[in-house]
Amino acid sequence: MEKVKSLADLKKIRDEVQSRIRLRENSDRPEKLVQIKVAMATCGIASGAKETLNTFVEELELQAIDAVITQTGCMGYCYAEPTVEVTLPGKDPLVFGYVDKTKALEIIEKYIKKQELVDGIIPVTYKTIDE
């Protein structure tokens, strides 16, 4: 990693990463680019979030669906772990609860491929600081 030597350097990184994310969203195949975040904090992992993450990685690769899968921290819905946030291009993010392997496959089959909602969506009930 290059050292960040100045405020300008820091802004450059920020803009780069932001544009990279935007690029992801506005890529030439928007229908294929899906973003998936798996909550991987202690309760998530204890509830099997690793397996969920693996299922998404393997299954999406198997089906050649272009997706960005990342881990993230606790979303706060500890009662419904593992939780996964799926953002389809151009759509609002959706959070799914109790995502085990079966549920993960169902999300891929129904929501990601057909935009059909599946049971177990967790309504987002908070404001972010940007609002």
Partner 1 sequence: MTEFKTHIMVCGGTGCRASQSEKIRQNLNTAIQEYGLEDDVQVVMTGCFGFCEKGPVVKIIPDNTFYVQVKPEDADLIIQEHIIKGRKVSHLLYEDPKTKEMVSDSKHMDFYKKQIRIALRNCGFINPENIDEYIARDGYAALGKVLTEMTPEQVIAEMKQSGLRGRGGGGFPTGLKWEITRKSQNDQKYVVCNADEGDPGAFMDRSILEGDPNSVIEAMAICGYCIGANQGLVYIRAEYPLAIDRLRTALKQAREYGLLGKDILGTGFNFDIELRYGAGAFVCGEETALIHSMEGLRGEPTFKPPFPAVSGYKGKPTNVNNVETFANVPVIINKGANWFNKIGSEKSKGTKVFALAGKINNVGLIEVPMGTTLREVIYEIGGGIKDGKKFKAVQTGGPSGGCLTEKHLDTPIDFDNLIAAGSMMGSGGMIVMDEDSCMVSIAKFYLEFTLDESCGKCAPCRIGNKRLHEILNKITQGNGTKTDLDRLRLLGNVIKDCSLCGLGQTSPNPVLSTLTNFYNEYIDHVENHKCSAGQCKALLKYVIDPEICTGCTLCFRNCPVGAISGEKKSPHSIDQSLCIKCGACYEKCKFNAIRIA
Partner 2 sequence: MPKIKIAENTVQLIREICTKYGNEEGELINVLHNVQDKLGYLPAEVQEVIARELNIPVARIYGVVTFYSFFSMLPKGEHPISVCMGTACYVRGSEQVLEEFKRQLKIDVGQTTPDGKFSLGSLRCVGACGLAPVVMVGEKVYGRVSPQQVRKILSDYIIGCPHSES
Site string for partner 2, 67-96 (x = CB under 8 A): ----------xxx-x---------------
The residues with which 87 forms a beta bridge, in sequence order, are: 35
Residue 64 interacting entry, from partner 2, partner 1, none, C-beta within 5 to 8 Å by type: none
If binding is defined by CB under 8 A, does position 51 make contact with partner 2?
yes
- DSSP label at 54? H
* Contact (Cβ atoms closer than 8 angstroms) between residue 24 and residue 33: yes
If binding is defined by CB under 8 A, does position 90 make contact with partner 1?
no
Pick from 4, 27, 32, 61 the residue near partner 1 by CB under 8 A.
4
- Contact stretch for partner 1 (CB under 8 A) within 27-35, 50-58, 59-67, 115-123: 115-123
Indicate the SS3 state at residue 34.
strand
Residue 3 interacting entry, from partner 2, partner 1, none, C-beta within 5 to 8 Å by type: partner 1
CB atoms within 10 A of CB 49: 23
If binding is defined by CB under 8 A, does position 67 make contact with partner 1?
no
If binding is defined by CB under 8 A, does position 58 make contact with partner 1?
no
Query: What's the CA gap between 50 and 84, in Å, rounded?
Result: 11
The residues with which 34 forms a beta bridge, in sequence order, are: 67
The residues with which 23 forms a beta bridge, in sequence order, are: none
The structure tokens listed for 31 are 């229908």
For the CA atoms of the chain, what is the radius of gyration? 16
Binding site for partner 1 (CB under 8 A): 1-7, 9-11, 13-14, 17-18, 21, 37, 39-42, 45, 70-80, 83, 85, 97-98, 113-123, 125-129
